[in-house]
Amino acid sequence: MLWQYNELSIGVLGDYNCPRVSRTMSNQQRQVCFSGAVQGVGFRFTARRIADRHDVTGYVRNLPDGRVECIVEGESSEIDAFLKELNRAMAPYIRSQRQNVAPYSGELDSFTIRF
């Protein structure tokens, strides 16, 4: 998968087989790596809770180097809203973040915490 560097609904519809994010031309995938005091402060659980309020799929996980990685897919505006809310909620712990943009894969059907 090629990443472009860029600084910076199951249950809802009641159909179990219905994908959470509808595929449109503005769909994309973003990898966001957060650094700072982001592990051991509820970052992943906060991201999961916030993702439930947005039409996004993906996952969040701790990395061995102390960062938190978030892979998120959906419409660009939904991803922006999700990340804005996550940044606001976790601002005291985030020192920096790096975003990479990739084509939408459609392979993620929910937002999960990976361990």
**Residues labelled catalytic:** 44, 62
C-alpha closest to that of 78 among 53, 102, 100, 97: 53
Angle between helices 43-51 and 76-90 (to 10 degrees): 140
Q: Residue 21 has which token pair? A: 């994010």
